[in-house]
Structure 1
Amino acid sequence: MAPTESQHFGVNMSSLEFARSVFGEEEDIGRSLTRGSIPGDMESVTLDSSTPWRLKDLELPPEPIMPLLIEAYFSRFHWYILLFHEPSFWNKTYKVYCQPTWRRRDLSDVVTVLIVAALGLQSVLQDSTWHGHNTFRIHHINHRQLLLDLVSEVRFHLIDLLANPRIEAVQVCTLLSCFYMFHSSPGLAWSTSGMAVRAAYALALHTKAPASQDRIAAQIRYRCWNHITVGDSFVTMIYGRPASVDAAFADLHELEHTDDLTIPPVLLDLTGFSECGDITSKVTFHQMKFRLYYIIRQALNRFRLLRPSQPNTNDDLVAISQEIKDVEASLAQWCQELPSLYNFEDWSLADRWAQLEYSLQNRPADIQEHAEVILLQAAMIQLLYDGAVILTHRPLLKYQVKPMRFSGSVIDSMQKSLDAVIGAALRISSFPVHKFEKHFVVSIVFHYLFMAGVILCIIPTSQPLTNTAQEAKAGVVRIIHASRAMAQHNRISRQTDKLLTELLKIAVQRETLAALDNTSVTGYHGDEAEPPLLDSEMSTTKDVPLEGPKELLQANTTTIYQPDLHREFSMDLPELLQSYHHTLDTGAARNELSDQSLLPSALLPLDPHSVFVSEQLDDIFGSLQSFYS
């Protein structure tokens, strides 16, 4: 048992801890047999013994290789996911790895070095400009094989690492989960992420560090716990599964500035940075990121606790609207406290980013790297914020209810949520993903791009042939182009390209059918002769009724949202994709439109210049004119 395991778990305690609390520590209840939590826990002392220990299968690469990979990790990964104190890693952990022989007590340090090297290698694997490739060629080392060997060795020792956990167990499980999440097996990533949470609880990382603990060691502890909460929130969002971190013990630690987070003073004197206030440490980025994820976690918990009635009522939507307003208030407060240094909108004004890059051309490489990291951090903060906006407003948009009359306040809330989600998704579609090509975090970026693309693909169906629909399709195209630019090197970008391309085709088809169906209702005159249908038109309109339902003509013009038309919002992402693929195979879009009992009654006026899709989009889905040719 970790020395601090019994601290601050509320009134819960283990069986042996209960006995000790009742009879007093001076009785040393059971300590002659075990210091564990339950009877039978003998604590495998062999892991702390001085018996010799070695790796199972991995043949260590030549001396120059591992330092190169560790440097790659700290330059391409560490700036976003903060788990270590870099100077301490080199001075302690890496020194243990460099010993000629190892003991069992060295297992944690050695395995930590291996997983750090693996993540560093993954980050540079596809970067042809990385200076270490030449060293690999000189020593005839196969990059991919070394990566597989490193991860395989870590996996082999994982259970031993967890048997008597130290802080390294949390770090290794976290990094292994990152590797599986983005580059190997997302399913396995879920399990290893949970292992990191369990190890963190075993070490009571959610509590304050003991007063006797070294300050740097305490900060490493706090960094690891804060990321545990962030990582758990992230996997909860993308998997749609319950969180592993108990909400009662999910508070964040306040990080302090340490030497490895210092922003060089010479950088702060440059144009662009000098106007950003007195921020001198990158710890600000991590604090703001942790706080944003804390808001996200609170939102997830709020929405999880909602229990709508059956059948659904207007009051259910009012309750959801109120929860959204509360989360919005937290996000607004967070925005007000975001320093200018990490405000990406400020950096985007007057192309300040490009101007700064120009002024850095003759600066030392380390100064350029520090500047790049700050700009990347600012961009990521904006991306995370926009993702939080979508997450916050999605419950109201996706809520599945039967056709009903909504109150004016609910209609207003729905419109505001739709506007907020569209705005956030469009901002994400313009994200400078190419700036992240050489960094591990690019895979996280593509997760958000995919989420935004799915949202934008829904808009043309709900608001056909409007300026908003045109902007949404243009946003999807931007995401597809960005994905294709990196498809050769990134698995997630390849899948994003393929999935969004298919979704966009369906969106355009549904948009066209919805617009034509609405036109047939509002513009049809029985005494006018109808032009003959072309064969291609017959194939796409044969299931669409020429006359709309009477309910449509009598609908309240204030109704801007109808659940049947927006049924995509009622699905989780896997169900949504399954629906789209089903549409591709069966033509369900036409059948669905013909079965609609209600369509939007207050479409925005059609812009005559937006009837045809712009030439910019032709290479993806063609114009509406060519759609029928």
Structure 2
Amino acid sequence: MSLGSLEAVQTCILLGTYYLYHGTPRLAWPVCGCGLRIAQALHLHRRLQPSESADFRALNEARKRCWWAVYEIETFSAATYGYPHSIYDADCDVEPLDPSAKLQVTQSPGSFDQPLACQTTLLSYKYFISKLSTITKATLELYRIGAYAGDKSRLPAEKLHMPSVIQTVAAFDDRPRQWEAELRPQLQWRNVAHCVYYASIEEIDRDIGATGPRWEKHIYQLQALTLWLAYQNARILTHRPLLSYKLKTNPNSHSSSERPGAVSADPFNLSLDACRDAALKTSEILSRPLLELVSETYAAAFVSIHTFTAGVTLGILSSMDPLGPQSAETKAGLRRLMGVQEKLRLHSVVAQQGLAILQRLAKLVMEKELDVILELSEPKALAPVRMREKATLIGSTRSCLQPRTCSR
């Protein structure tokens, strides 16, 4: 690290990623932080002046890939574990990485606002995940997790003027959808979810390092899965502030959004529906053939973290309306998400921890449902006791609303 080289940054990110996906995020955070500071000292976040040198393109692409790896891990840590984000976007003018850099046939896009004109390659995944990271980074402002986190004048979302939060959520809501619409067909999960390119881990092991259409299709399928999960997680992250606000208010009370001039007739229910839909779509991966092959890749921890977030979301939604019309579907989705964690727990410590928490949350949800059923006939003297039990449940689930994975 004292050399301050590009290789030092790469080593920090590789080692930090290993720690992050193997259950030790507190160790990953300072290691990745070292990589970030070295990257900034090398000005990896700044655009290089074009040069006629034959090696310029290769050097520039290596720098860009390294920087966007730093940006991605910084954003992922902030969104997942609530760590402060230490990158000022206003200080960064580096271009996106070029998915066709190895082909050397097209010019790198100047910014994420420009359409991606090159053909799809295995590097396209990194371009799209980097772009989603910039969207997620902006969403973190709703939680006041960012480079300005130390500014005490920037209050948490639930303490801000609620119409302002509603407008911000509505503005952010469309950005992940636009991003998802830009994905190439090979990276669209709905296009490849049912495909089977390898039947077993052993078959993959025999083909490791291979090239050709079959191997590339398998890699595209893995990339499509991780992009799909990251997209659904971004949707939950966008709407979670209003979900948190809904927990803190009386469901029967009238919010400011119901008054004339409000942004939406019922933005809180829209956010609840968006969170439920994203979590349920995440749970659908349990029945996909690829899940059996994920366990031997880094994607096992990635899948575990995102399905845990979806599971907590469904647990909270179930506790808010235990006997509602969507209660059965919500609990079925929670069960599927625990099924994903069960499949991965032998290969990922993150899945082990997530499964234990989701099982405890499911028990709380069922206890809450039983309480609601028994409320009709219980003596009035027991009502305060039941209310205290409900408050305990809400307090437990509310702690999981923060952009981190609970006690993991």
User: What TM-score range do you get, normalising by the shorter chain?
Assistant: 0.7 to 0.9
State which of 65, 80, 83 in structure 2 corresponds to 1:241.
83
1:332 is the counterpart of 2:177? yes
**Does structure 1 residue 426 correspond to structure 2 residue 273?**
no
- 2:230 is aligned to 384
Deviation of the 1:427 alpha carbon: 1.2
The letter for the 2-side match of 1:168 is E
C-alpha separation in 2, matches of 1:174 and 1:455: 30
Question: In 2, are the aligned partners of 1:480 and 1:501 still within 8 Å (CA)?
Answer: yes
Distance 1:318 1:459 in 2: 23
Matching of residue 512 in structure 1 with residue 361 in structure 2? no
CA-to-aligned-CA distance 1:151-202 (integer Å, 9 cap, x gap): xxxxxxxxxxx21211001001111111221226321111111101000001
| Match among 67, 71, 86 for residue 225 of structure 1 | 67
Distance in 2 (CA, whole Å) between partners of 1:282 and 1:321 is 38
- Residue in 1 that maps onto 2:31: 192
Shift of 1:564: 11
Aligned to 1:345: 190
Q: Give the structure-1-normalised TM-score.
A: 0.52
Amino acid at match of 1:329: D
Number of the residue aligned with 1:397: 243
Q: Distance in 2 between matches of 1:333 and 1:214?
A: 33
Q: 1:547 to 1:236 in 2, by over 3 A?
A: closer
Deviation at 1:204, TM superposition (A): 0.2
Task: State how many pairs are aligned.
Answer: 362
Q: Which has the larger radius of gyration?
A: 1
Could you tell me whether the CA contact under 8 Å between 1:464 and 1:515 is conserved in 2? no
Query: Over the residues paired in the alignment, what is the CA RMSD in angstroms?
Result: 3.6
Structure 1 residue aligned with 2:41: 202
> Aligned partners of 1:377, 1:242: CA distance in 2, in Å?
27
Q: Confirm or deny: 8 A CA contact 1:454 1:500 kept in the other structure.
A: yes
Per-residue deviation, residues 392-415 of structure 1 (Å, max 9, x unmatched): 000111137555531324661100
**Partner residue, 2:302:** 444
Q: Distance in 2 between matches of 1:323 and 1:173?
A: 35
| d(CA) in 2 for partners of 1:470, 1:418 | 16
**2:164 maps to which of 309, 319, 327:** 319
Q: Deviations over 1:425-479 (max 9, x none)?
A: 1111222433311211211111111111111111222121334221222122222
1: distance between equivalents of 2:227 and 2:361?
28
In 2, Cα distance between the equivalents of 1:245 and 1:308? 19
Specify the alignment match of 1:369 in structure 2.
215
In the TM superposition, what is the alpha-carbon distance from 1:226 to its structure 2 partner?
A: 0.9
Structure 2 residue runs without a partner (length 5+): 106-116
Letter in 1 for 2:304: F
Q: What is the distance in 2 between the residues matched to 1:309 and 1:394?
A: 13
TM norm structure 2? 0.78
Counterpart Cα distance in 2 of 1:319 and 1:415: 17
Q: 1:447 to 1:575 in 2, by over 3 A?
A: closer
Alignment-derived partner of residue 300 in structure 1:
140
Of 102, 116, 119, 1:259 maps to 102
Native 8 Å contact 1:309 1:316 kept in 2: no
Please list every run of 5 or more consecutive structure 1 residues that lacks an aligned counterpart in the other structure: 1-161, 263-276, 525-532, 549-562, 580-629
User: Cα–Cα, structure 1 residues 379 and 564, in superposed 2: closer, same or farther, change >3 Å?
Assistant: same
Amino acid at match of 2:227: I
Secondary structure at 2:172 match in 1: helix
Residue of structure 1 equivalent to 2:112: none
Structure 1 residues 333-387: Cα deviation after superposition (integer angstroms, max 9, x where no partner)? 2233222221112334xx3x14x669xx9xx853322110001111111111000
Identity %: 27
Q: Contact 1:279 / 1:341 at 8 angstroms: preserved in 2?
A: no
Aligned position for 1:594: none
Q: Distance in 1 between matches of 2:272 and 2:92?
A: 31
**Which 4+ runs in 1 deviate beyond 6 A?**
545-548, 574-579
User: Residue 406 of structure 1 aligns to which amino acid in structure 2?
Assistant: S
Residues 495 and 575 of structure 1: is their aligned pair in 2 closer, same or farther, counting only changes over 3 Å? same
